[in-house]
Amino acid sequence: MTATSFSENKNILLRDIADLSLGYSYRGRIDTCPDGPIRLIQMRDLTDDQLVDVDNSARSLDQGFAPLHYLKTNDVIFRARGTNNTAAFASAVTESAALVSPLIRIRVKDDSVLSRYVQWFINHPAAQAFLGSGSQGSLVRMVSIEHLGKLPIVVPPLEEQKRITELADLSVREATILRRLANLKETYCRLLISENLLGIDTRSAYGN
């Protein structure tokens, strides 16, 4: 399905079911403070598993953040800049956390739509094609908040949304396990080569 046919066949837009707001814009360098009361959510805090890593994010003092900059549990966070314009899910926000531009906060306001489903849908190839068709910039791609808001959304019944997100979660967990297995295999092969070809005693090196 092309981006054009996708948009022509759907009449529910993202802006109809969710509030969109751009993260706080720093004029210069991002100021952090190890003992600050507020977490700063930046691009690097969105994981490969498409989750928001609040616990390991930098801390900051209040920079004059507005309510629209703060995160809540179940918010969807969109990467507006770069080659990867996908969305991550804030599954647990237990302390004050503010979003930094160019990230966009998507907060679903329609009770008939699951936030987790919206995040999954944004990452779907058809939605990604639509977003890419309206992106700006030749060197660094940028998706405007206006174009994101025009994303057509397919909204099935709640039970179907739940099934879709459950399958998506299982797929993400499987991918995580496969990555860990690949890393373990790589480590094992490296140690095996060190012992058999280079004569390095890896057991003593690792304290065994």
- Neighbour count for residue 37 (Cβ, 10 Å): 11
Same domain, 10 and 102: yes
Q: Which of 113, 139, 155 is the last residue of a domain?
A: 155
Same domain, 183 and 112: no
- pLDDT tens for the 208 residues of the chain, in order: 444 444 444 579 999 999 999 999 998 888 899 999 999 999 999 998 899 999 999 999 999 999 999 999 999 999 999 989 999 999 989 999 999 999 999 999 999 999 999 999 999 999 999 999 888 876 788 999 999 999 999 999 999 999 999 998 887 666 667 677 777 777 877 777 777 766 666 555 445 5
Burial 83-95 (b: 16+ CB within 10 A, else e): eebbbbbbeebee
The CATH number of whichever domain residue 60 belongs to comes to 3.90.220.20
What is the residue-wise DSSP string for 69-134?
GB--TT-EEEE-BSS---EEE-----S-EEEBTTEEEEEE--TTS-HHHHHHHHTSHHHHHHHHHT
> What is the spatial distance between Cα 148 and Cα 107, in angstroms, rounded to a whole number?
13
Same domain, 111 and 179: no
Q: In Å, how far from its chain's centre is CA 204?
A: 41
Max Cα–Cα distance, the chain, nearest Å? 66
Same domain, 184 and 100: no
Please state, in angstroms and as integers, the Cα–Cα distance from residue 89 to each residue in 3, 111, 118, 146, 169, following that order: 24, 17, 9, 21, 11
- pTM score, whole prediction: 0.79
Same domain, 41 and 111: yes
pLDDT at 141: 87
Q: Which residue has the tokens 């690097």?
A: 44
- Cα-Cα end-to-end distance for the chain: 56
Same domain, 22 and 105: yes
Same domain, 112 and 188: no
Same domain, 66 and 141: yes
Can you give the residue range of the structural domain that contains 24? 3-155
Same domain, 147 and 173: no
Same domain, 94 and 20: yes
Are β-strands 38-41 and 97-99 bridged in parallel, bridged antiparallel, or unpaired?
Answer: parallel
Q: How many domains does the chain have?
A: 2
Same domain, 173 and 149: no
Same domain, 77 and 170: no
Q: Two tokens at 3?
A: 């981006």
